[in-house]
Amino acid sequence: MLESLKTILSAAREGHYAVGAFNCLSVEHARGAVRAAEEEKSPIILQLAEVQFPCAPIELMAPVYLELARQAEVPVCVHLDHGQSFETCARAIKLGFNSVMFDGASLPFEENARVTSEVVRMAKAVGVDVEAELGRVGDAGTDEGKDLKDAFTDVGQAGLFVERTGCDALAISIGNLHGRYIATPKLNITRLKELKEALSTPLVLHGGSGTSREDFKSCIHNGICKVNVATTLQLAVMDAVKEYVSSGNTSYIDMKGVIESATEKQVRLFIDLFESSGKV
Ligand code: 13P
């Protein structure tokens, strides 16, 4: 069933677990992810980022996500990831997404708060929830190894930001990066604890791929309620397809099944790690 971000994340916050938000770029990807959630009896978030529109157009993916959500036996939220403008958020909402992220993290604080507030006002008018971002989550390709402390989410600013914007979830920066890390990152759990203490808003960890098991556990036991994963899923699917083809298989139809199963297997591992199994 289609469920709101707010409902899914407030249960996660109360229950001290996190819900996986998976960037799904094809029908097989999305079906595999929902099947995993059904097998695990877990809520799930299907998401698509604006930078992914060229390979998975939102107009094509929206009906797929929404129909899968409606048919699912578990709560499914259909979420826009990293919307880069007010207009993109409005476009996703018009297509039926029941949750959007406006990512103004690269903007000055005032500008980020102003545009986020406008998105929240528009989204709330039609019953849609909003995730925002404060502090910058960089890219493993360009930012790994750099001192990122200045990009970390500031506790005082976060309180002000949430109060001013009324966002339903906040993506934070604690040393996490998007993409493929070379070395395993070490997240700043002290900053996370401070943010949890100061805010009642569910917190979101972006850049889930490559995070150590230990850091994941510390995150979900200290206020992270949503974890975004993209790269690991893509790599798992690529490996499965490579193996399928190199073993001499030639059926395209069966290969679609391989993609679905590889996604399902990987998503089940994350659901188990995030402790959301059996929560529905
Ligand atoms: P990864 O590709 O590092 O898993 O990050 C996904 C993400 O944060 C999407 O918003």
Residue 138 Cα to ligand 1 middle (Å):
10
3-class SS of residue 161: helix
Task: Give the confidence band of 220 by pLDDT, cuts at 50, 70, 90.
Answer: very high
17-76 pLDDT tens trace: 999 999 999 999 999 999 999 999 999 999 999 999 999 999 999 999 999 999 999 999
- 231 Cβ below 6 A of ligand 1: yes
- Residue 185 phi/psi, 5° resolution? -75, 160
Q: Is the CB of 268 under 6 A from ligand 1?
A: no
pLDDT tens-digit profile of 94-103? 999 999 999 9
Do 169 and 223 meet the contact criterion of CB atoms below 8 Å apart? no
End-to-end CA distance of the chain: 11
Question: Does the CB atom of residue 207 touch ligand 1 within 6 A?
Answer: yes
Structure tokens at 66: 């929404």
Looking at the chain, list the stretches that DSSP marks H as alpha helix, in order from N- to C-terminal side. Answer: 5-15, 27-40, 58-71, 86-94, 109-125, 140-143, 155-165, 189-198, 213-220, 231-246, 252-274
Confidence (pLDDT) at 186? 85
Give catalytic residues, as residue numbers.
Answer: 81
- Ligand 1 centre to CA of 247 (Å) is 30
User: How sure is the predictor about 270, in pLDDT bands with cuts at 50, 70 and 90?
Assistant: very high
The amino acid that residue 26 corresponds to is S
pLDDT in tens, 157-204: 999 999 999 999 999 999 998 887 777 788 999 999 999 999 999 999
What confidence category does residue 136 fall into, taking pLDDT thresholds of 50, 70 and 90? confident
Query: Tens of pLDDT along 232-268?
Result: 999 999 999 999 999 999 999 999 999 999 999 999 9
Buried residues in 127-150 as b, exposed as e (16+ CB within 10 A): ebbbbbbbbebbebeebbeeebee
Instruction: Look at residues 109, 131, 89, 113 and name the one whose alpha carbon lies nearest to residue 225.
Output: 131
Mutate to test the pocket of ligand 1, among 79, 212, 228, 234 (most ligand atoms within 8 A of CB): 228
pLDDT given at position 146: 73
Angle of CA points 135, 139, 142, to nearest 5°: 120
Pairing of strands 169-172, 177-178: unpaired
Q: Whose CA is nearest to atom 1 of ligand 1?
A: 207
Look at residue 24 in the predicted model and tell me its pLDDT. 98
What distance in angstroms lies between residue 231's CA and the mean position of ligand 1's atoms?
Answer: 6
